[in-house]
Amino acid sequence: MPELPEVETIRSGLERHVAGRTFSTVDVLHPRAVRRHLAGAGDLSSALAGRRAGMPRRRGKYLWLPVDGDALLMHLGMSGQLVIGDPARPVTPHVRVRFAFADEGPDLRFVDQRTFGHMLLERGGAELPAAIAHIAPDPLDAAFDEARFAARLRHRRTGIKRALLDQSLISGVGNIYADEALWRARLHWARGTDGLRRPEVSRLVGAIREVFAAALRAGGTTFDGLYVHVNGESGYFSLGLAVYGREGEPCPRCGTAVRRDKFMNRSSFSCPKCQPRPRRGRW
């Protein structure tokens, strides 16, 4: 699924191919794609027609396109893609929303197999949509404040991985990158947030930044010419993951077999030697 590095690549693609262009028609092909736009699909379509897209912005895994003072807010969910291409090409089955432009140039399509993604238009939300005001800055954002993050973390009574996945504390980190960052920082996922020392928090934030930077470098997205086409899987594939999905394989640092634990109805991967389990863990 698209994580922060992929979303950032898409944002820059929208900047290049969509910013400054005027919408002509917006077709919502699946109602679930706009389920959070409470006024309905018709309202979203008519509100956008004839209006000009501004410079796309991002917070965590959310993207928004300012439209005058309003915001077209988008989240790609698990399987969402934004594709730009020839408007005459066939509409494939998983296209949920299609945006055509007044210049009759390449159109923008929101493609999403599993429909976890969504979009909505928020009136007056261009600066920071209220719908995502609770989302914290991500560690690549200039607004990210490590001291504040550390202080909030210590006041929590939960495990570190649960906290990393809580977008109101720190944004942009999903299950895969959480495991990779914890491995780099040599922290076990069940470590209690209240027992973390300040240097450990710094190490963790540094590790998250490294993982994001590596994913950006790896080009988790293919992005050529007119096409902004995000393949959710390709990023991880080329990144070379240390622990995620590698149960039983050797830890790249010490060779110990990677362990898999059940966590929040999903999995956590870690190295039993580099990331020792705490005596009193939280999860």
The nearer residue to DNA, 24 or 158, going by C-beta atoms, is 158
The nearer residue to DNA, 114 or 197, going by C-beta atoms, is 114
Interface with DNA, residue 282, by CB under 7 A: yes
Provide, rounded to whole angstroms, the least separation between the CB of residue 183 and DNA: 14
Burial class (CB in 10 A: 0-12, 13-18, 19+), 147: exposed
Alpha-carbon distance 72 to 93, whole Å?
23
| Options 16-24, 44-52, 137-145, 173-181: segment touching DNA (CB under 7 A) | 173-181
| Options 17-25, 58-66, 83-91, 98-106: segment touching DNA (CB under 7 A) | 58-66
| Strands laid side by side in the 107-112 sheet | 23-28, 95-101, 107-112, 80-85
> How many residues in the shown chain lie near DNA by CB under 7 A?
36
Alpha-carbon distance 254 to 63, whole Å?
39
What residues contact residue 134 under an 8 Å CB cut-off, 6+ apart? Answer: 167, 168
107-112 and 259-263 beta bridge pairing:
unpaired
Provide, rounded to whole angstroms, the least separation between the CB of residue 167 and DNA: 5
Interface with DNA, residue 278, by CB under 7 A: no
Cα separation values, 241 from 166, 206, 281, Å:
22, 17, 25
**113, 202, 234, 253: residue in contact with DNA (rule CB under 7 A):** 113
Binding site for DNA (CB under 7 A): 1, 3, 32, 36, 60-62, 75, 77-78, 94, 113-116, 131-132, 134, 155-159, 162, 165-167, 174-176, 244, 264-267, 282
